Chain A
Amino acid sequence: MLSKLNKFFSSIKLAIILFILIAAVSIIGTVIDQGDTIAQYKIIYGNTVFHILYWLGFLNIYNSWYFVGLAALLILTMIISSANKLPNIIKNIVDPNTSFDYALKKNSYKAKYITMQSSKSPSEILNFAEKTFGKKFGKPVLKNIGENINHFKSGENEKVQKISSKNGDASNNADNKKNNSGNFLFFSKNSIFRISPNIAHLGAIVILAGVFLGVTLGYRSYTNIKVGQTVQHSYLLKNNNPVLLPFKIKLDNYVTKYYKNGMPKAYISTLTIIKKHITILTKSIRVNHPLTYDGITVYQASYGHYKPNAAQILVLNLKNSNKNNKRLIYAVPGKIYNSKINNIKFSFNFFKHPAKDQIPFYISVIKNDKTVSSPLVFQELPYRTKKGNMPLFFAKYNDNIAFIFAGIKTYYYSGVEITKNVDTDIVWIGSAILIFALFFSFFFNQQSLWVRVTSSENEKINKVEILSVPHKKFASFYSMMDRLTEILKKQIL
């Protein structure tokens, strides 16, 4: 039972089916908008369809039990298949089975097997073979038909010949049984990289583990802060539940910078982090430039007005410079304000079609709910505001009342996203492992080569067998082998 389960979970077919299912579920998530409100869904799909989609989990599909389940199953298959293959792979790297006959039998579907005969001596043949194949396959090991491994060094050919055939193994093939005097070279290139697919799987497991950790321990939240306001709560993106932050955030200032054509260039919030009444730091954040403190990152996400823009209008009584005869009013266009100076009410307005070079706004003075004057037109004063160096505009009513326009007051809030990421570093480590492992597994393929020389009875004619096993059935590998074999042939025939 256990072995059946083991086989089931480590099969590539299961992995492929899981891949396809994950892709299919993901597609549903892109066709049906995720994260809309219930009211929006009901408008789009109608009540019945909404309930069906809700029941199927299609409206929050990436958090649905089956999507998470598919991902978990994928992790399980990766772990089990790697665990099954790993001991074998490690054994192959550390102590490979170099048996010629075993390799021939096991890799018959992709191996290239060539035989030829040569009148040269076995040591000469092996020497030529080492020189010919060494460039592509690296340094070989020399083995006799027994299992003794000797590192093959040039110049030690005589020693090679003396390797005893007493250790000959009876399990070798019929040819060898006939004559027990045979040696072979074993070349193995890039065998260490056989482990890279498993490391790639490890990378993917680390990424997914990081994601699971992030979903359970981290959060993504959102809050709007008015300029000057201090907050300590934000609201989760997924359900709007409040989160208590470990520090307070104050929005000192918010500015939108514009290009000449009016398109926004940058959104800049100046934030101060306050912990236990102590100012920790002040920093300006922009898109692509967040602030991180205490494991929590604050991003610029949006902005807006919490009140309409207002004109700063200073109303003055010119005949009486008493303190009570001066008042600053923030006037929203079109609204009526009581200046409390001589009981004068007024509204601040814009001309619909201002003439060229005309100042585009004016004041209407109102008494008893009626506009009593023609529009009071502004004139520019030769002074500027201390703050911001803005021009001042002046309009007069009945010789004694003056209205001074001192700029526009905006009421901004800044929308910030506040996230706690416990997982990002894990995800980046997993990604790095995955990418490096993919690189090595794609471009450093294992290739093995055996060159076996068996002598006939009188040692006049030797049989040379060349067995090459590529990692994959690549035409280029076979053509390279053909080329190298031709070179060897010319040398030993």
Chain B
Amino acid sequence: MIHMNASILDGSFYFTISLLMIIISFIGYFIYMFTTNKLASTASFVIVLAAFALQTFAFIIRWRYSYQIGIYIPPLIDLYDSLVFFAYVILFGFILLKLFYNFNSLGFIMTFISICALGFATFYPLSTSTIEPYIIPALKSYWLLYHIISLFLAYGAFAAAFGIGILFLIKYNQTNKYNKDKDVKQSSKKINPIKKIASVIFYPFILLYKQFILLSPSIDILDEAIYKVVVFGFLFLSIGIVIGAAWADNAWGGYWSWDPKETWSLITWITYAVFIHARLTKGWNEKKMAWIAVIGFIVVICTYLGVDLLIPGLHSYISPGAAPVL
């Protein structure tokens, strides 16, 4: 039997409904990608807004429920909490980007990441939405909320940078290809016959795809957006790490213990520090920056999930037994 988190009591039911809504909006954005139908993108965005509102409601329900059963901290403790919050932050980031930059073409990537996070939260057997009426003593701290919110704002920003980075690379390659094709035609070189046949067969798709590319913002705007989103994330990553260090100093007796999660957060910080410094280096073009934004998000995923699922440490979500005594 498939495990699914869908309880009205703890609010997970509403998250599951929002997952369905986001899937619909993803399909809408996918249709938009190939047909450039404005109605599809507008409808998708409205659904995203509704899903975001529903998730906000679900968080209120969860928070209230955790207070009712005597846990006086926000529901941001276990793997389920963290994944739904991640999905929530990503939607929030997308809504902001859509409002500021009118990034319709980003929709299908952002909704996809959100679906992955929510889907994982809903169906992964070790991720349960049940809020237990007890928590380990180390988590009883007012640092928890600030630590997690600032880090997830950073994660969300890096996810957005990843999405825009991919969009940039598609657009950049397409622009380059276009220029190259023009060169080839001008020098009247022979075209591979298989390629020619393929291009005839897939002509309608290629045409639609090119339309989509034309609709997405220019590479200059994408480049600027990547930078702005990354520095926002970098700032909040720094804040989150410092808050975590202060908390660790209070709870564990040292602000830094080289716990795997701490170390990986440093690696993430370094990755984006490289991004910020590399911009100042001559000869590093926008394409390389987009690649760092894409790779950076893979490092974020390693820090966020990889470390918890693979290496036991002080931050493990799933196996409390693997954590230190207290």
**Chain A residues proximal to chain B, CB less than 8 Å:** 12-13, 15-16, 19-20, 22-23, 26-27, 29-30, 34, 62, 211, 220, 259-261, 263-267, 286-290, 297, 299-303, 415, 417-419, 421, 424, 427-428, 431, 434-435, 438-439, 442, 472-476, 478
Contact = CB atoms under 8 A, between A and B. Distances in A.
B325 A12 contact: no
Given A15-B277, A29-B263, A431-B238, 20 more contacts: A26-B263, A30-B260, A220-B254, A259-B134, A266-B137, A286-B137, A287-B138, A288-B250, A299-B253, A301-B253, A418-B253, A419-B254, A431-B245, A435-B235, A435-B238, A435-B242, A442-B231, A442-B234, A472-B227, A478-B220
B266 interface: yes
Contacts of A26: 263, 266-267, 270
A475 B238 contact: no
Contacts of A300: 326
A287 B273 contact: no
A30 B133 contact: no
Given A259-B133, A476-B224, A303 B325 contact: yes
Given A434-B238, A472-B227, A12 B281 contact: yes
B234 A16 contact: no
A299 B252 contact: yes
A29 B274 contact: no
Contacts of B253: 220, 290, 297, 299, 301, 417-419
Nearest to B251: A288
A259 B260 CA distance: 30
Nearest to B70: A259
Nearest to A416: B253
A413 B157 CA distance: 46
Contact of A30 (B220, B256, B307): B307
Nearest to A63: B258
B166 interface: no
B274 A302 contact: no
Contacts of B140: 287-288
Which A-B residue pairs are the 5 nearest by beta carbons?
A: A302-B325, A417-B253, A475-B220, A259-B134, A287-B137
Contact of A472 (B234, B270, B277, B279): B279
Contacts of A267: 137, 326
Contact of A19 (B245, B277, B311): B277
B255 A424 contact: yes
Contacts of B232: 442
Contacts of B274: 16, 19-20
A415 B254 contact: no
Contacts of B279: 472
A30 B279 CA distance: 29
A418 B252 CA distance: 10
B35 interface: no
Contacts of A299: 251-253
Nearest to A21: B270
B231 A301 contact: no
A435 B277 CA distance: 16
Contacts of A19: 270, 273-274, 277
A421 B246 CA distance: 13
B214 interface: no
B246 A428 contact: yes
Given A12-B277, A472-B227, A474-B224, A427 B258 contact: no
Contacts of A435: 235, 238-239, 242
A300 B279 CA distance: 46
Contacts of A431: 238, 242, 245
Contacts of B224: 472-476
Contacts of B277: 12, 15-16, 19
19 contacts: A12-B277, A13-B281, A26-B266, A26-B267, A27-B263, A29-B258, A29-B263, A62-B258, A220-B254, A301-B325, A415-B325, A427-B255, A435-B239, A438-B231, A442-B232, A472-B227, A472-B279, A473-B223, A478-B220
A427 B255 CA distance: 9
B2 interface: no
A480 to B, nearest CB: 12
A22 to B, nearest CB: 6
B249 interface: yes
B325 A16 contact: no
B221 interface: yes
Interface in B280-300: 280-281
A452 B25 CA distance: 52
B7 interface: no
B199 interface: no
A427 B245 contact: yes
Contacts of B260: 30
Contacts of B263: 26-27, 29-30
Contacts of B235: 435, 438-439, 442
Interface in B113-141: 132-134, 136-138, 140-141
A432 B271 CA distance: 21
Contacts of B137: 264-267, 286-288
Contacts of B325: 301-303, 415
Nearest to A427: B255
A286 B139 CA distance: 12
A419 B239 CA distance: 24
B249 A424 contact: yes
Nearest to A428: B246
A73 to B, nearest CB: 14
Given A267-B137, A288-B251, A424-B255, A301 B326 contact: yes
A287 B251 contact: yes
Contacts of A428: 242, 246
Contacts of A297: 253
B229 to A, nearest CB: 11
Contacts of A418: 253
A438 B276 CA distance: 11
Nearest to B264: A30
Contacts of B138: 287-288
Nearest to B221: A475
B278 interface: yes
A442 B234 CA distance: 10
Contacts of B280: 12
Nearest to A27: B267
B324 interface: yes
